[in-house]
Amino acid sequence: MQSGNRLFIIFILVLMQGAAGGQTLPGSRRHAGKVQDSILLCRSMPDTVMERDTAVLAFIGDVMLHRAQIENACREDGSFDFSGYFSGIQDDLRKADIAVANMEFTLAGEPYTGYPAFSAPDSYAEYMAGCGIDVFLTANNHILDKGRKGLLRTLSVYREMERKYGIRMTGSAETVEEAARVFPLMMNVNGIKIAFVNFTYGTNIRIPERFPGTFLMDKEQILKAMRHAERAGADFIVALPHWGEEYRTKHSDAQEEMARWLAGNGADLIVGTHPHVVQDVMYIENGGNAGCSGKTAVIYSLGNAISNMSARDTQIGLMAEVTLVKERFGDTECPVPRFTFLWSSLPGRLKKSHATVRVKDYIGKRSEWMQEYEYDKMVSTYCRIRESTGIEDGGEQ
Q: What is the pLDDT of residue 368?
A: 96
Reported as a single tens digit per residue, the pLDDT across 146-200 is 999 999 999 999 999 999 999 999 999 999 999 999 999 999 999 999 999 999 9
Reported as a single tens digit per residue, the pLDDT across 129-145 is 999 999 999 999 999 99
Hey, which CATH number is domain 52-344, 3.40.50.300, 3.60.21.10, 2.120.10.30, 3.40.50.1970?
Answer: 3.60.21.10
Rounded average pLDDT over 260-271 = 96
pTM (two decimals): 0.86
On the question of pLDDT at 287 being above 80, the answer is no
Strands laid side by side in the 269-271 sheet: 185-189, 192-200, 236-242, 269-271, 295-299, 281-285
Q: What is the pLDDT of residue 288?
A: 64
Reported as a single tens digit per residue, the pLDDT across 7-52 is 444 444 433 444 444 333 233 222 233 233 333 333 334 444 457 8
Rounded average pLDDT over 341-363 = 97
Rounded average pLDDT over 391-397 = 81
Reported as a single tens digit per residue, the pLDDT across 300-332 is 999 999 999 999 999 999 999 999 999 887 888
Tell me what percent of the residues of the chain surpass a pLDDT of 70. Answer: 85
Where exactly are the structural domains of the chain?
Answer: 3-49, 52-344
CB 352 within 8 A of CB 84: yes
Reported as a single tens digit per residue, the pLDDT across 200-214 is 999 999 999 899 999
CB neighbourhood size of 328 (10 A):
12
Query: Alpha-carbon distance 136 to 99, whole Å?
Result: 9
CB 144 within 8 A of CB 177: no
Reported as a single tens digit per residue, the pLDDT across 80-102 is 999 999 999 999 999 999 999 99
Query: Alpha-carbon distance 38 to 31, whole Å?
Result: 8
Query: Alpha-carbon distance 138 to 215, whole Å?
Result: 9
Q: What is the pLDDT of residue 331?
A: 85
Query: Alpha-carbon distance 271 to 275, whole Å?
Result: 12
